[in-house]
Structure formats: structure tokens, C-alpha cells
Structure 1
Amino acid sequence: MFILRGQRKIRIKRYTETQQCCPNCKTFDLQVNVYKDYFHLFFIPFFPTGVKSSSMYCYHCSSFIRFDSLQHEYEKKTRIPFWLYSGLLLVGCLIVTIVVAANIDAKEERIFVQHPQAGDVYTIRDDKGGKLRYFFLKVNSIQGDSVFTLHSNLEYSRYISKPQSKDFFVEDEELVFTKAELLQMLDKGEISSVKR
């Protein structure tokens, strides 16, 4: 897989220095640029790396100058911009979004199991006998606390979100569960998903 990553340098602040004169032309018109290295992934900055650096430039004579003590002073007072952490911020937001969406789905599935309706389809995870298998149960009817379901014809060796086109529900094989049993199955992880 091709991933664009690496380090880049960016100017994080520009200052105009009017207290120090240029040693070449003796004018008081110097520019100080402060730079910071950062790690990027697909050119999105993730976090700053290394130390700050700076350069001084005279507007008048167009020459680069070194005043180490003055440059270090500007480097110290320059703060690292928050946007250099934007990649980490995006990853954090993505994780929070996934967690919130999973919680919403779990609550919705719980409500669907507590209040079943005819036509609901449950994905059942069964690992009895040491062999993992998945199948579907479709709610056929509800009478009081009893939920009558139909078993899917096919069983699957891995999780699948919906029945295959050749799969069907066996009409003459009705399984009966109480609502409490269905909730217990959901809590144990036997019901993997609920579709309404």
C-alpha cells in the first residue's frame, strides 16, 4: 500500500526586528522567520518534531544574517501552532465518532429486541460444539411474551450482515422464545445484529 508520509518544515511565525541593525547596510529593517519540523501523513500534519529553527533576512540589502542570541530569543517566544496536531485531532474525532455510533447501534438493537415486531431479522452467532456458525432468525409473530421465529435454511461460517439470495426461512420449523430469552441472548452476544 502506498502511503505518503515524512517530515516537512514550515514557517510558523514571521517577525519584523527594528531594534537590531543589519551589519551590511546598517538599516533597521530585518525579518525573522521561525520554522518547525513536523511529521505528516498524506500531507496532513500529525505532530511537530525536532527543535525550532530561525533565519534573519534584511529587506534592504537582501542578505541573510546570523544573530544567534536574538534568533534563539524569537524561537523561545514563538508558540507551536495547534494545527500542527490536526492529524491526531482527526484520528481522535474518528475514534469518538465510531464509539458513539457503536453505542447508538447497541441501544437501538436492545430496543428492537425488547419490543420485537413481525419481520425483524436476528443474526445469531452459535459456537456450540467448538464450531462457529451464523444463521438468521426472522420474527414471524408475537403472542404476549412469546416470540415465534423462523430459522434460515443456510448456516454461515463467518459473520454476514444479510442472508444470501439463495437462503430462505423455513416455514414449517418455528422456534419459540420469550422476550427475556431474546434479551439474554443479546447480552451473551449470541444475537450479533438486529435488522428491522
Structure 2
Amino acid sequence: MIFYGTNASRLKDGRLSNVTCPNCNEQTSMTYSVFGKYAYIYWIPIFPLGKTNVLECDNCKGTYKLKELPNQIKQKFELEKHTGVPVKHFAGSAIILALISWVFYANAKDKENEAIYIKSPQVGDVYHTSGSNSGFYTTAKVTAIEADSIFVIFNDYEVDKKSGINDIDISSNYKPENTEGYKIEEVQKLYADEVIFEIDRD
């Protein structure tokens, strides 16, 4: 099934009077239709691709694109008031822009929250960190906070992609023997150096 491509919608119909058809050479009228072309994804218009003008002689029913007709007809057509590009042809672009804006907003909001979490750690916070091996990632869960120290249990598992890190964040992967202690200032420096690159808090 094809989920992308181009299509067209009828924007306007009208009639030109007192024109000479190049096919039947009769002075007659011509009916025209203006079509707006657009690209789509999943049948949602993304952006316009211009217009196509089709004219039909009311006498001989010959059909032409505007560019195929004599200047006299072209000039008469240009004097008509034609519709602009419909807003709906930008619908997909608007949706994409809204999604991108939302992602930027959500990321900025997450960073604001993390700035608070790293200054005021709580038991249960989960740090996403670079693993013990270069190019691997793991998690560490805060289990205790005492004065200026913080204790975390490191996850038993590592992943090679940041996107898979949530898959290993399960309780059974945290063993007490993997507990390590740090000064709070050390943890804050690890976050500043992006060794800790994300913080989750329920």
C-alpha cells in the first residue's frame, strides 16, 4: 500500500465568454477548472505543488491546459479572480511543525526538571549513565541519601543504544552487591560532564 504521493483538489470552476476555440474556430465560451496539486503522506496534504488550469470548449468539448491556448484566452483567463492556495494543503506541514515544537518543549522541560533532580536527589531516582564499557549504557538507582553522600545500585545489564535503556530498568536487575557511594558533588559533576545524561523520577 502506498502511503505517500501527489494528488490534486478542485479549487474553482468558471467560464470565459467570447473566446475563439483553436480547435473548432468558433467564437464561444470555455468552462475552466483550477486544480491545486499537493504532496501527501498517509493522505494528509503536506505542502502545495502549484496549480493546473484545465479549460473545455463549450462548443466542441475540446479540452486544453492553459499553456496550450492562444494568448487571447490566456490573458482573459488571467483577468479572472482565482483562488489562492488552500490552507488545508499545508495541514501536514502544520502537524509536523507542531510535533517538532512539542518535542523541543518536552526536552526543554525535562532538562529543567533534571536540573532540579540533580540538586535535590531522592531515593528512587534513576540515572541513565554511560556504562563501564565505551559505547554502552546502563542505569543506576538511588537507594539512600546520607548527609552529603548518595548511594546507588548499578544495573546488572548494559545496552548499546540509549533508546533501549528503559528495557533494562526493572527491579530484578538491581542487586544490593552493586551498591556504590558518591559525594553529591561528584554526582552533580557526572551530570555536568554528561556521564549521567538523563534522570527519571516517578
- Corresponding position: 1:145 with 2:148: yes
7-16 vs 180-189, greater mean Cα deviation: 7-16
Kindly report which structure 2 residues correspond to 1:1-12, keeping only aligned pairs within 5 A, or say none: 2-12=1-11
Q: Which residue of 2 aligns with 1:136?
A: 139
Aligned-residue identity in percent:
22
Kindly indicate whether the alpha-carbon contact (under 8 Å) linking 1:133 and 1:157 is maintained by their aligned counterparts in 2. Answer: yes
The verdict on how the C-alpha distance between 1:73 and 1:13 changes in structure 2, with shifts beyond 3 A counting, is same
The verdict on how the C-alpha distance between 1:8 and 1:178 changes in structure 2, with shifts beyond 3 A counting, is same
Give 1:154's match in structure 2, choosing from 157, 177, 180: 157
Measured in 1, the distance between the counterparts of 2:180 and 2:84 equals: 67
Kindly indicate whether the alpha-carbon contact (under 8 Å) linking 2:123 and 2:142 is maintained by their aligned counterparts in 1. Answer: yes
**Residue identity opposite 2:148 in structure 1:** D
Gap regions ≥5 residues in structure 2: 21-26, 64-68
Q: TM-score, normalised by structure 2?
A: 0.71
Measured in 2, the distance between the counterparts of 1:143 and 1:64 equals: 89
Q: TM-score, normalised by structure 1?
A: 0.73
Give 1:94's match in structure 2, choosing from 92, 99, 103: 99
- Corresponding position: 1:105 with 2:110: yes
**Residue identity opposite 1:143 in structure 2:** E
48-57 vs 184-193, greater mean Cα deviation: 48-57
Q: Name the SS of the counterpart of 2:36 in structure 1.
A: strand
How many residue pairs match? The answer is 186
Deviation at 1:15, TM superposition (A): 4.5
Kindly indicate whether the alpha-carbon contact (under 8 Å) linking 1:110 and 1:183 is maintained by their aligned counterparts in 2. Answer: no
Measured in 1, the distance between the counterparts of 2:126 and 2:142 equals: 6
The verdict on how the C-alpha distance between 1:71 and 1:54 changes in structure 2, with shifts beyond 3 A counting, is farther
Kindly indicate whether the alpha-carbon contact (under 8 Å) linking 1:127 and 1:133 is maintained by their aligned counterparts in 2. Answer: yes
The verdict on how the C-alpha distance between 1:98 and 1:33 changes in structure 2, with shifts beyond 3 A counting, is same
Give 2:76's match in structure 1, choosing from 59, 64, 70: 70
For residues 96-125 of structure 1, what are the alpha-carbon distances to aligned partners after superposition, in whole Å with 9 as ceiling and x for unaligned? 111111111222222222111112221221
Q: Which residue of 2 aligns with 1:13?
A: 12
For residues 128-155 of structure 1, what are the alpha-carbon distances to aligned partners after superposition, in whole Å with 9 as ceiling and x for unaligned? 6xx3232322212112222122233334
Deviation at 1:87, TM superposition (A): 1.6
Measured in 2, the distance between the counterparts of 1:62 and 1:114 equals: 81
The verdict on how the C-alpha distance between 1:162 and 1:194 changes in structure 2, with shifts beyond 3 A counting, is farther
Gap regions ≥5 residues in structure 1: none
The verdict on how the C-alpha distance between 1:62 and 1:108 changes in structure 2, with shifts beyond 3 A counting, is farther
